[in-house]
Structure 1
Amino acid sequence: MQISRLFQMIYILLERGTVTAPELAKRFEVSVRTIYRDMEALSQAGIPIYASQGKGGGISLNEKFILNKSLLSEKEQDEILLALQSLSAVQYPELDEVLSKLSSLFFKSKANWIEVEFSPWGSDQKQKEAFSLLKNAILEQKIIAFSYFNGDGEKSNRLVEPMKLLFKDKAWYLKGYCLHRMSFRTFKITRMSEVRITGDSCFHLPSQEQFSAAVLAEAPVTLPLQLKIAAEGAYRVYDDFCEKDITKHQDGSYTVNTSLPVGEWIFNYLFSFGSLLEVIEPQWIRSEMANRIRDMANKYHIET
């Protein structure tokens, strides 16, 4: 309790400048003598706190305290303010108050030069609000209920103990413990609907080691691929693949050596490049692409 009171006392002094001992005693519901003992403890810890007598006197901190004693560099202070600013994307309710306090603490104007939006273009308000709801459920350790469409388009109702929000490959996911499957699962947020907090508390709270092991066990099997992409596909090449996996040729085309998770989705992804992409390896993927192209041509009565 004392440690918490000491930190609060420092913040009050930083915000107000000078405060009398009786005011602090009333604020923390302790005796004036306790306040002076707290002053001594702060002084021994290297905090430049002092008391002045007379009219306008009271307990104060050296006005240069933040600049001289802060463990944070100017760059680190800016990064903290930027991180808090980005919380606006999940409608963090206390954002303005926290930013105002830290901006004052660092003697900086409020960060307002960046706006972060997690939702994709064209998403509705419900999807944007889902981030705030999921964040609250994670922090409050409350079970959530929602409907979910899997990769095959099958709909199911889920009860999940939410544990972490994850942004990966242009999409947001929720990691948690599924009470229907009785295991750790990852859910794509765009496939979740009718999300609500049940009010029931989570009871499968894993250690960091257990959670890391579950994430590792969930890692998908990947398939090595060699792709040839036309020069006109440059905008996709550098968006979708690591630079180290890309070889650019004199004619402007690209060869990409990469690995992608195994699954039906891989064909839809490769076809999304249209005629700009050619699969070189593995041969069975190349053959399956050719078969599917023939099937598509037959639907439109096109001879191949």
Structure 2
Amino acid sequence: MTTISRHFEIIYLLLDKKVITAKELADHFEVSARTIYRDMDVLSGAGIPIYANKGRGGGISLLEGYSFNASMLTNDEQEDILVGLQTLAVTNFPETDLILKKVARLFKKETGNWIDVDFSPWGSGEKKKQLFTLLRNAIIQRFAIQFRYYNSQGEQTLREVEPFQLLFKENAWYLSGYCLWRKDYRIFKISRMSQVSVSDQTVTMKPTTDPLKEAEIQAGESAIPIKIKVSSQGAYRIYDEFDEHLISKNADGSFTVATNLPIGTWLDSYLLSFGTLLEEVHPVLLRERLMKKLDEMKSNLEKN
């Protein structure tokens, strides 16, 4: 525990228990009584009314009526801190619940269980739900990970990666890291990762670039202008998946989306996922790719 953290917790303990002996504090923090008395001097010098009474029933306490001065933070700032801690708590980050209770007490505020975060898709098993925690711990503890990855071209590869950061982008979670197989920095969509395990190999590389920015540049270089028209029944997909400035509503209630996307297998599959909701596709090249895919699907189904 850092000195600052210990000072903070001393104040919290005194607010909670009123009187504590130097020995009790020393045992709690696993430091010497001399260190506790030095802490008292530091806190007193910072304006905290802390003092010690000798004799039977004595101990260290705060001036009667003292409360933590949170006036340096506005009410909105205090609420933002508590919201941030609540959001972190639902990711099972170590000791966040305890920190949240302490800060709420110091701010003299109640915290409600108003937020919940689940990083797994609907209907996921427990193993999938624990994946986020596994990846987070690997990053914090600086261990490499191994997993099978399915890219947008339908290819499956075995990867060993030194993980750096969890990223949230456009309704999906990604992992950035250094791929020991590709010998380069990569971003992996977490939903496409399977059989994830943590190795005993420690991370040696350090990020030398912004993986998300690099991925956006690469996507932009391979993107082409496309325009699609989707029936009115597809409104939920349109507003879920595209920014409002890319959408225009037509007189018949349908929607037209104009954007740039990288052409390839992923885009083919994505557009086909609209099914009968999809009414128009431009440019012609993309429409021809979709028609070819549909013919292949029809042929495969007729074989069986």
Q: TM-score by structure 2 length?
A: 0.82
Cα distance, 1:261–1:101 mapped onto 2, change above 3 Å: farther
Q: 2:238 is paired with a residue of what secondary structure?
A: helix
Give the superposition deviation at 1:87. 3.6
Q: 2:166 is paired with a residue of what secondary structure?
A: strand
Contact 1:143 1:201 survives alignment (8 Å): yes
| Structure-2 residue corresponding to 1:134 | 135
After TM superposition, the structure 1 stretch with the greater mean CA deviation from structure 2, 288-297 or 231-240, is 288-297
Question: 1:33-60 CA distances to partner (integer Å, 9 max, x unpaired)?
Answer: x645543433443x33232647556331
Cα distance, 1:127–1:299 mapped onto 2, change above 3 Å: closer
Letter in 2 for 1:58: I
Give the superposition deviation at 1:23. 4.3
| Structure-2 residue corresponding to 1:216 | 213
Contact 1:87 1:95 survives alignment (8 Å): yes
Q: Paired residues, what number?
A: 294
Question: 1:167-220 CA distances to partner (integer Å, 9 max, x unpaired)?
Answer: 2233222111111111111122222222222122111023xxx231x4333321
| Structure-2 residue corresponding to 1:229 | 230
| Structure-1 residue corresponding to 2:278 | 277
Contact 2:246 2:257 survives alignment (8 Å): yes
Give the superposition deviation at 1:102. 2.6
After TM superposition, the structure 1 stretch with the greater mean CA deviation from structure 2, 234-243 or 261-270, is 261-270
Contact 2:144 2:202 survives alignment (8 Å): yes
Give the superposition deviation at 1:124. 1.0
> 2 CA distance for matches of 1:261 and 1:71?
49
Q: Can you give the 5+ residue segments of structure 2 that lack an aligned partner in the other structure?
A: none
> 2 CA distance for matches of 1:65 and 1:143?
46
1:290 and 2:287 aligned: no
Q: Can you give the 5+ residue segments of structure 1 that lack an aligned partner in the other structure?
A: none
Contact 2:51 2:61 survives alignment (8 Å): yes
Give the superposition deviation at 1:62. 6.9
Matches for 1:85-234 after TM superposition, within 5 Å:
85-87=86-88, 89-206=90-207, 210-212=208-210, 214-219=211-216, 220-221=219-220, 222-234=223-235
Give the superposition deviation at 1:283. 2.8
Cα distance, 1:188–1:11 mapped onto 2, change above 3 Å: same
1:239 and 2:236 aligned: no
Contact 1:178 1:184 survives alignment (8 Å): yes
Q: Percent identity?
A: 43
| Structure-2 residue corresponding to 1:81 | 82
| Structure-2 residue corresponding to 1:49 | 49
Cα distance, 1:245–1:149 mapped onto 2, change above 3 Å: closer
Provide the aligned C-alpha RMSD in A.
Answer: 2.9
